[in-house]
């Protein structure tokens, strides 16, 4: 049904669960022998079961993930003179982020392969998604999170019942990040657990769920791809998986060209942007100075895969200041009625920057992956409300207000 191929050496296996090449330790890519078909009797991402690494789609664990809206910009499209601007609302997934697509595939494989539990790292969204799908499947889980995880995200995770531990300096110290992933793989191997880190180099099977965003967007645009795709980037896995989705859709003859991919990071935590600008591989950075939750990684595990997608697509990388991100978040809410978390809003902030620099002409079809809903970070949501006074009136004044128009 599918095969594993090492990107570094000549190792190849017909299926299996390896997350790294057993011969050289290189990145394992998943390829499929069956044609890409859509099954309209199945909902959401499971329409594309022909290109997901399950032996039997009956093993799917689902909460209704996928099939999220692609909304054309209204007022913002006119204000920016970019009529082809679109927003992919991944916050409409069951737990409020695109990570549900990954969790659905990962937990489904866990059940199919008979693993005893799951273990993951997350700043919030992945943890909530995996915990929810784990609860749906009735399997226990262990989450290792950041000391400074957003309280609203942590509360959502805890509601699903996994064991949660905060790792000192995770998300801010590259050595801690890399050691955490090594230790996580070791305990999963020794306990028959499934490692579900949302990175293609660490959990390639589960990450196949993310590419379905690209499939959907091509269908939603009437059988054509966007010209440019803006994707918020922390570890690099979403951008790399999205690029794979477009490549597979074209290989199936369903589109005739590919989009330019844009990696968007926060200034102060932008190792992929720095590597792109310097024309070198991704290297860890000393620390994170951005407050944008969800994309705070100093040693992105899929950074070089993201760079490869940028090169192959003729794309680029952009870093945006936190203040520009918060402004974009407020714009999305006030102008479009879209309540997105700050990490998602980095995509719009980058569009604004590229229009100002002339990198975008204005006649392109542009798609922004809005990766999570605004309720994920209530501190940022409260920030948007600052300066908006709520007037206290008496009940008798209501009619007078209506009469005055």
pLDDT in tens, 209-248: 999 999 999 999 999 999 999 999 999 999 999 999 999 9
- Tens of pLDDT, residue by residue over 311-367, are 999 999 999 999 999 999 999 999 999 999 999 999 999 999 999 999 999 999 999
226: left (phi over 0), alpha (psi -120 to 50) or beta: beta
pLDDT at 201: 93
Q: Which residues contact 189 (CB under 8 A, 6 or more apart)?
A: none
Q: What's the predicted TM-score (pTM) here?
A: 0.94
pLDDT at 20: 87
CA gap 211, 2 in Å, rounded: 16
User: Consecutive sets of 10 residues in the chain, 405 residues long: mean pLDDT of each?
Assistant: 89 87 91 92 95 92 98 97 98 97 97 96 91 98 88 90 93 87 93 95 96 98 98 97 98 98 97 98 94 91 97 98 97 97 97 98 98 86 79 87 65
pLDDT at 401: 82
Residue 71 DSSP code: E
| Residues 274-300 as b or e (16 or more Cβ within 10 Å = b) | ebbeeeeebebbeebebbbbbbbbbbb
Terminal alpha carbon distance of the chain: 65
Domain 70-96+207-385 class in CATH = alpha beta
pLDDT at 405: 55
Pick the closest to residue 229 from 340, 327, 350 (CA basis): 350
Helices (H), 140-235: 151-159, 174-191, 204-207, 212-220
């Amino acid at each position: 049904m599918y095969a594993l191929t090492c990107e570094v050496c000549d190792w190849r296996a017909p299926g299996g669960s390896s997350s790294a090449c057993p011969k050289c330790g290189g990145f394992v890519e998943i390829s499929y022998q069956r044609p890409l078909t859509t099954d309209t009797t199945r909902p959401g991402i499971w329409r594309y079961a022909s290109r997901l690494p399950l032996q039997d789609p009956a093993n799917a664990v689902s909460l209704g993930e996928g099939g999220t809206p692609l909304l054309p910009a209204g007022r913002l499209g006119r204000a920016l003179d970019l009529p082809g601007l679109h927003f992919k609302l991944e916050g409409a997934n069951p737990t409020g982020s695109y990570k549900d697509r990954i969790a659905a595939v990962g937990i489904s494989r866990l059940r199919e392969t008979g693993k005893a539990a799951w273990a993951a790292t997350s700043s919030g969204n992945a943890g909530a998604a995996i915990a929810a799908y784990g609860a749906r499947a009735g399997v226990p889980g262990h989450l290792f999170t950041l000391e400074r995880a957003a309280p609203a995200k942590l509360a959502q995770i805890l509601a699903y019942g996994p064991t949660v531990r905060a790792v000192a300096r995770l998300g801010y110290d590259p050595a801690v990040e890399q050691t955490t992933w090594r230790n996580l793989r070791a305990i999963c191997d020794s306990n028959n657990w499934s490692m579900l880190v949302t990175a293609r180099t660490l959990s390639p099977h589960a990450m196949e769920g993310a590419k379905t965003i690209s499939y959907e967007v091509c269908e939603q645009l009437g059988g054509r791809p966007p010209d440019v795709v803006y994707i918020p980037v922390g570890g690099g896995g979403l951008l790399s998986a999205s690029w794979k989705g477009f490549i597979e859709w074209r290989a199936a003859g369903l589109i005739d060209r590919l989009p330019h991919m844009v990696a968007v990071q926060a200034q102060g935590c932008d190792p992929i942007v720095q590597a792109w600008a310097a024309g070198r591989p991704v290297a860890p950075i000393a620390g994170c100075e951005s407050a944008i939750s969800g994309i705070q990684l100093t040693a992105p595990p899929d950074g070089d895969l993201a760079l490869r997608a940028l090169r192959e697509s003729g794309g680029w990388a952009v870093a945006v200041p936190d203040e520009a991100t918060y402004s974009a978040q407020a714009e999305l809410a006030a102008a479009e009625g879209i309540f997105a978390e700050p990490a998602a809003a980095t995509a719009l902030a980058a569009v604004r920057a590229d229009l100002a620099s002339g990198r975008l002409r204005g006649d392109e079809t542009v798609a922004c992956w809005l990766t999570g809903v605004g309720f994920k970070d209530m501190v940022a949501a409260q920030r948007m409300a600052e300066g908006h006074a709520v007037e206290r009136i008496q009940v008798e004044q209501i009619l007078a207000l209506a009469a005055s128009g």
